[in-house]
Amino acid sequence: MRLEGKVALVTGGASGIGEATLHKLAREGAQVVVADINDDDARRVAAEIEDVGGSATAVKVDVAVYEQVEAAVQHAVETFGKLDVIFNNAGIAGGKPLLEHDPSVDYEPMIAVDQTGVYYGILAAGRQFVRQGTPGVIISTSSIYGEQAAELAFTYSAAKAAVISFTRSAAYELAGHGIRCVAITPGRVGTPIIQQFDDDLKATFAAEQLRDRLTEPDEIANVVAFLASDEANVINGTVVHVDDGYSVFKQRLDLPVF
């Protein structure tokens, strides 16, 4: 088990990519902290991990509030003695044409969670790693939208682009402390955010990827577990595409033979 002895905190851990990653990290030997604004589901995930022999605890956190993120980090330390990995994964989505925006609805909340929440996670975990005097790993969820324009995604794309910039800058500043920082850019993943849509739209989303299907949360979790491990020590300041080829093509066309 390549994460034996590690302590990992995952925000947005009560569903989707976060939930799948927590189970994977625990199977790899990590002690895990399920951090989510949904306290009931966070406790459910922690209980499920413990039921199969893992070690887990849950903590309620609104990542848009620094004091709560800091408290979640301290909960990890108080429970397991230290922190080795944070996965800044909590996020919200939504879309509306720019000129129809209500800033208080369509800009400020998404920036608070998807952008500022990641900044808070990087800051709180980075400070804890330095206090411990130990290396650490900071992994943050960006998106394919963080590197390109997309439909109805003005705010979301901006926040996810900021995550990439945060990751690069943090890697540069924190390397001297033995801290690695990595961003992942998922494509179309079968999380509750996408599963809420009708079958036609989900099929359209699937067709945007090379395997012509939605990515499973477990597939993203496998990559995160590797990035959290010592096997990934040379991956630092990097954007890891986990998009099943979404970013390499636009759509499949029925072309004439010529």
pLDDT digits (tens, 9 = 90+) for 53-105: 999 999 999 999 999 999 999 999 999 999 999 999 999 998 899 999 999 99
How do 31-36 and 7-11 pair as beta strands?
parallel
Q: Record the pTM.
A: 0.96
What pLDDT digit, counting tens, does each position of 131-149 carry?
Answer: 999 999 999 999 999 999 9
pLDDT interval class at 35 (50, 70, 90): very high
* 183 belongs to a structural domain: yes
pLDDT interval class at 151 (50, 70, 90): confident
* 2 belongs to a structural domain: no
* 211 belongs to a structural domain: yes
Label residue 21 exposed, middle or buried (CB < 10 Å: 0-12, 13-18, 19+).
buried
Q: Domains in the chain: how many in total?
A: 1
* 256 belongs to a structural domain: no
3-class SS string, the chain: CCCCCCEEEEECCCCHHHHHHHHHHHHCCCEEEEEECCHHHHHHHHHHHHHCCCEEEEEECCCCCHHHHHHHHHHHHHHHCCCCEEEECCCCCCCCCHHHCCHHHHHHHHHHHHHHHHHHHHHHHHHHHHHHCCCEEEEEECCHHHHCCCCCCHHHHHHHHHHHHHHHHHHHHHHHHCEEEEEEEECCECCHHHHCCCHHHHHHHHHCCCCCCCECHHHHHHHHHHHHCHHHCCCCCEEEEECCCHHHCCCCCCCCCC
Residue 100: both structure tokens together: 């129809």
Q: Identify the CATH number of the domain in which residue 170 sits.
A: 3.40.50.720
Q: Taking CA 91 as the corner, what is the angle to CA 89 and CA 94, rounded to the nearest 5 degrees? A: 150
User: CA torsion 11→22→15→50, rounded to 10°?
Assistant: -120
Q: Are 111 and 155 in contact (CB under 8 A)?
A: yes
* 153 belongs to a structural domain: yes
* 110 belongs to a structural domain: yes
What average pLDDT does the segment 146-173 reach?
96
Instruction: Name the residue among 93, 89, 123 with its Cα closest to residue 109.
Output: 93
* 38 belongs to a structural domain: yes
Active-site annotation, residues:
156
* 161 belongs to a structural domain: yes
Distance CA 218, CA 215 (A): 8
Q: Are 246 and 209 in contact (CB under 8 A)?
A: yes
Enclosing domain of residue 234: 7-242
Distance CA 93, CA 153 (A): 9
